Structure 1
Amino acid sequence: MSIYPLWVYEQIPKNTIYFHKERQYKNWQNYLLDSKQNENQLAELPETRDIILHSWDRCKANKDLNPLIEGSIKNITDDKLKEIRDRNEVFQLAQPILQKVNQELAHSHHLLKFCDSNGTILEFYGDTSLLHRIGNSLNANKGAIWSENYAGTNAIGTSIELKQPIQIFSSEHFAYGCHELVCSAIPIMNPFTSQVVGVINLATTLDKFYPFSMMETMKIVNNIERFLFQSYFRAQEMLISIYTESINKFKNHIVVMCDPNGKILWQNNDSQIVDMENIILKATNEITANKEWEEEVMIASHRYDSKFKKIFWHNQYIGLIAILEKKYNVHDDKYTGSNTAKYSFHHIIGKSDSFKKVINISKIASATDATILITGESGTGKELIASAIHQASNRANYPFITLNCAAIPKDLLASELFGYVAGAFTGANPKGNKGKFELAHKGTLFLDEIGEIPLESQVHLLRVIQEQEIVRIGDHKKIPIDVRIIAATNKKIPEEIELGNFRLDLYYRLNVIPIELPSLHQRMDDIPILVQHFIKKLSVKKHQGPYQVQDNTMDILKSYSWPGNIRELENIIEYVINFAENGIIRPEDLPRYILSQQKNLNSTSELNPVQQAELEWILDALKRSDNNITRAAKELQLSRSTIYRKLNQLGYDIKTLN
């Protein structure tokens, strides 16, 4: 079964093409117009390929088709065409390749058509003069359907029917109006399902016929399918990421990921798989415009609150995730919530030497029960490290309780830490309340912003650490506890001790294993992998992407000072992906203040060593004071006006500090 006429690739004179055209025309006329023709006469058409004869038979059986038609007899509306174009993932992804082909074919007297899997023409590329010649006369315009049902034997429709490449020469076309054309068509196949997802058709007139047009068409389709494979692979990665993130986040839930047809890809609970298949199939078949919805379902006589969410890739629906939580009644034997650590060492991103040293110390610390003090600037990931230490410790199956000491009013901090009995103070819970220490029994208590704890509470905290027992406010009963403490602060505790704000003995108790986190400015080598990590994370969260960071954009990110550290970097990435066009993150997508600092760096690069040292001296003080000019001036023993004047003289724009 040849995909093209065998004589095409023989070394033959040009006029022989017309000889074959005439012989083929007689076969077409005899077979399709002669009412006496029947299947027994197939042997009388030796010049006609079997693949064409079988197609002609299919078309003859269609009473709506007449061999004397010009071309397609079916069109869709402009609104429907627009909808199909916008939703066709392959068409959108293939645009870079098709636009390049458009330039190459501009004056070649060849016209390339991109069709969807139904044979509908979505767009033309190449020589527009040929389009003007055949567009209206053959109804080869955008929106025309060229399946065999509506256009008879033709390269587009027959390739879809056979799911293979084919070249249709002249009078091999069923429609008389197409006999002046030679068309080569190849279906585009989904690399994972092998389904036809589109068709590329390269057409020309008989007088401009190029014997190797099928090879050129094959090259175009191969490029598209290679691009599709890369994109589909990234989409598959995104589904895996969403599923993995969900099962880690919803540990006590049933999590199911399926394809758009309802086939379950992954499920973290196989005990009720038959019921789940029915629920998922019902959800995927449900006709709804909603991207996410909630409903109650029944599995094995139990009720579950279920959340369904569709996942999109390049505006194409690629999967559905379901998260099911069992509903418990008050009569159930046991249902208790638990405070668990969200992050492990697997979640921590970084390869710089300074950061790897921190991770090594943290892993050693996780094997002990010693108290840990984590220090570092705001946004460096102190809670993440504390969470990872807990997850790697022998307390991982017990609570991880967090308390931000700076967020609790001073007069309520003691009750938060140690709890209280009924009637302990006005407004208290009449039944009393457990404190964080009791809630963290056998687990870990993470005290963030420990530098903000008032002196009177420091005394109580010190006693608890020493004696491993607490007394609720308003009570005299001692309650033994088994709690591992991890504290964190962005303050320099030795300086706070000198100022009388922090007890030295408490510092020694907390600082058994000190872990100092480097600022992002001290680990610039990690910026590229952190950027890619946050892009991937946000792409999964927003169901958008992929995104690519231009090299000059990355250079700017690597040269920025990052006073807000990793937290600031994540916020910046979320900012830029909302403004990136076509998935490309350019310098102009960055916030103005980052670009302003880049200009400052460029303007200060010509300073002499003394000026550079003076500028760094001032900027370091500003960084330590969180860009508070008054505090920096006090530290440097300069006036505010002097700092402004010096920065201006050194070419640094003070506005970038705001």
Structure 2
Amino acid sequence: MPDNSSYSDDDTRDAWERFVSSPKDVDKGPAKVREEIFDSWRRSMDSGVDASRQSANKVYDENEFFLRRERNAALRRAASAAFKRLEPHLKEAKTILILADDQGVIIDAIGDRRVLDEGQEIHLELGGDWSEKAIGTNGIGTALKTGRPAYVHASEHFVEGVQAWTCAGAPILDPFTQAVIGVVDLSGPPQIFRQHNVALVMAAAREIEIALAEQKQVERTQLLEAFLMSDYGRAHDGVVLVDQTGRVLFRRGLADDLLRRAKELTVGHKLLPKLEGLSDQDIPKLLPLSVEAKGVERLKLEGVDRGAALFLRDKSTLQRKAGETCKIKPRANVAEGQSQIVGSSPKMVDAIGLAERAAQANVSVLIHGETGVGKELFARLIHSRLPNDKAPYVPVNCAAISGDLIGAELFGYSEGAFTGAVRGGRAGKFEQANHGVLCLDEIGDMPIELQPYLLRALEQRAIYRMGENVRRSVDVRLVAMTNRDLRQEIEKGHFRRDLFYRIGVMTIEVPPLRDRGNDIVELLEHFSQHYAEESGRPPMTFSDKAIESLLRYQWPGNVRELRNVVQRFCLIKTDSFVTERDLPPEILEEFDNEDADALEHILGGNSGDLESIEASAIRRAIIAEDGNLTKVAQVLGISRPTLYRKMKRYHIRKF
């Protein structure tokens, strides 16, 4: 940690100016700049932060800010004692003490009134967003990003408009999970520059963590007492107590085998979403597949719901096979036959079971999986299990609609809302999906500026058409789908964290085909039978060696690629027996053909799936260039990071 004598504002500002003007020319941190500061500068630059900006962003929506503070009520309560104790010492010290949440948004601030007023100019105030990805290097955002205390002085800030300030931040850790849940920060003009400022905020952070732990302990004790005093306290052996946030506080009478299969029952684990808004009928449907609730008892403290007791029984013997649960009936008023999800591997059984539970629980669902795994079938499965047979099912591909039109597509528009608007206006997909399912495919591609409106529609269960102020209530079950890692998209600033938690109350992971074992054989038989019925010819059968090769293949295009392979056999083979010699070259990995690099060869011998074509091209380039990935990237016309990402996606090894 630098002291007053070692820090030179002129040297630091000179290093900052050189870095922001020519970042590629600076290979390592300047001698006068601390390593942790220079690393943060790099992250800020990579995140696209504008170094010339003059202030942070701010949450202006009062409702959104209120909900944010409500979500962090326990953190604010734990911080209140420390803040109250320190407040008298800050009033004339040209210093303010700040509490920020796990996204770097300021939720409480106290201290010198003049400094609080000056902070408003840069949005160092309630609602200000001081995450590193939004405003660059600063005490709050850098402590949040690194999980370590951060001291940032004057020109060490990445953004020019903040360089008239000094700040010291310390992360606050959850006493159960040790995850960073907030930051306590001391800020003011450069004159408050002191090394012991870091010690002060670290001490405050520890005090807040102790208060949080004490809160949890008191709450745990009170809930246990409430449970033991209830009529159920002695009546059941297998019981789990959860607090109002859905976190496990206590358990007893559960079999060891059940605990091994259901890690979610560990004390401190978040077993359920926030209980507020969940009915007693919803809660059992959100439990792990391996357990079943025989009953739910709400636990009250001073007349207010503060948790629940869940009485469990082992459900391992009650699991049904996938084939018994995955029939999908046709949609009302749609000319289609019955569909089916084929597979009995454990991961598919779990995914199908979760989808069926999701249909029973009135919660938003996020379906995650690679391209081609069949995510829409799971959305259709949820829809087909709704009590109302005529409930609408409205699919929307967020990646297929331009950013300018997606708002009108989702929410509708009034007459004259924009050039080309139809007379009388038009209802959007939300209204069309009323009392049914709205399926948003590729939700990771939704423009960031539209995401707050989607969040508001889901929370308020109402929409406003573009160009009008009429509130329209909607009752929509949202099913979102993506092949992206939305947590990474959040870190990149491409997806809102609050929207992620709103749409992902229940997340279904659809496994890739390479992880489904003998499901490949079941799918071969299923598609062979399907295309045989279409073409009026006998179903395809496969030699043992052909099946061995198909089981070894990584299937980058997943079920869609396998379906295309079977369809290709039905179209080009004159008989119905498939041998190893009939398989496409990318499955056999026959790269020694002298024409292997020809596009006609790649396309002609491939299943036709875009992902498998791309994977095949990468494999061939690696062979041709003797594993030199720099040359491979040049040949394919892509960057090396892109090549590495695609190799990871398609499970391609260098050799």
When normalised by structure 1's length, the TM-score is 0.41
- Structure showing greater radius of gyration is 1
When normalised by structure 2's length, the TM-score is 0.42
